C-alpha cells in the first residue's frame, strides 16, 4: 500500500473514531466522516467497503495490538514457574491501560463503551468472534490459580474485572492524576490498585 493510501486510510480511521465516540455509531454518518476527513465516499468504500466495515476496522486498529500485547504477556507469565495470580492479572490489565494513554486512546475507550451501551448485536458478535478467545485463554490460566471457583463463577468475576479495567481506561474515576505525578507513574499506580483489587475479588470464597 502506498504512503498516500496509508495516510488517507489512517486519517479516515482517526476521524471516524472521534465521531463515533462523540455521536455514536448511528449518530455519526458517513457524510460527516468524509467531510471531516476531507475525502469522498469512494475513498471510504475503497478502504473499508461499507460503514460496518469502517466500524470494524476502528476496533481492529486498537484491539489487534492490545490483545497481541496481552497474549504475549500471558505467554511470558505462563512460562515462569514462580508466576502468581497477580502476574496474570498484570498481563491482562497493564496493556489495556497503556493502550488508553496512546494517541486517540481516550476516544477509543468511549467507542468501546458505546459498543456495549448501544446494544448493537452485530458489533457485539464481531467483538466476541474476533476477541473472545483472549479472555478464554486468560480464564484457563486463572482457573489453575483458583480451583475453588467453578467456571460460571470465574466468568462472573472476570466480567466484573473487565468492566473495572474499561472504567479505568476511560479515566472516569474520582482519583485524578496530581500535577506532580507523571502520566507513567499515575498509570503504574492504577495498575497496582487494579491488580490488588481484582486479586482479592478472585480469591474470595465462591458464592
DSSP string, 43-112: HHHHHHSSHHHHHHHHHHHHHHHHHHHHHHHHHHHHT-SS--HHHHHHHHHHHHHHHHTSTTHHHHHHHH
pLDDT in tens, 83-139: 999 999 999 999 998 887 766 677 888 888 888 777 778 888 999 999 999 999 999
Single out the residue of 169, 157, 170, 168 nearest to residue 198, CA to CA.
157
Residue whose C-alpha is closest to residue 141's, from 69, 201, 86: 86
pLDDT confidence bin for 1, thresholds 50/70/90: very low
pLDDT at 39: 95
Residues 3, 7: Cα–Cα separation, whole Å? 6
Q: Which residue is it, cell 468504500?
A: 45
How far apart, in whole angstroms, are the C-alpha atoms of residue 1 and residue 188? 37
- Per-residue pLDDT of 12-65, as tens digits, reads 999 999 999 999 998 999 999 999 999 999 999 999 999 999 999 999 999 999
Residue whose C-alpha is closest to residue 98's, from 199, 168, 195: 168
- Tell me the whole-structure pTM to 2 decimals: 0.84
52-203 placed in CATH 1.10.357.10: yes
User: For the residues 173-200, what does the mean pLDDT come to?
Assistant: 80
Amino acid at each position: 500500500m502506498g504512503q498516500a493510501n496509508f495516510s488517507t486510510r489512517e486519517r479516515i480511521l482517526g476521524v471516524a473514531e472521534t465521531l463515533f465516540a462523540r455521536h455514536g455509531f448511528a449518530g455519526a454518518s458517513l457524510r460527516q466522516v468524509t467531510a471531516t476527513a476531507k475525502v469522498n465516499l469512494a475513498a471510504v468504500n475503497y478502504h473499508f467497503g461499507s460503514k460496518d466495515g469502517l466500524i470494524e476496522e476502528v476496533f481492529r486498529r486498537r484491539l489487534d495490538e492490545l490483545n497481541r500485547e496481552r497474549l504475549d504477556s500471558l505467554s511470558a507469565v505462563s512460562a515462569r514457574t514462580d508466576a502468581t495470580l497477580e502476574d496474570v492479572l498484570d498481563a491482562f490489565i497493564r496493556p489495556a491501560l497503556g493502550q488508553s494513554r496512546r494517541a486517540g486512546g481516550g476516544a477509543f475507550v468511549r467507542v468501546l463503551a458505546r459498543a456495549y451501551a448501544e446494544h448493537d448485536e452485530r458489533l457485539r458478535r464481531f467483538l466476541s468472534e474476533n476477541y473472545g478467545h483472549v479472555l478464554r485463554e486468560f480464564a484457563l490460566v486463572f482457573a489453575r490459580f483458583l480451583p475453588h471457583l467453578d467456571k460460571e463463577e470465574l466468568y462472573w468475576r472476570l466480567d466484573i474485572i473487565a468492566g473495572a479495567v474499561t472504567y479505568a481506561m476511560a479515566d472516569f474515576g474520582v482519583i485524578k492524576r496530581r500535577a506532580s505525578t507523571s502520566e507513567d507513574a499515575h498509570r503504574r499506580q492504577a495498575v497496582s490498585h487494579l491488580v490488588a483489587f481484582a486479586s482479592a475479588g478472585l480469591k474470595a470464597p465462591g458464592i
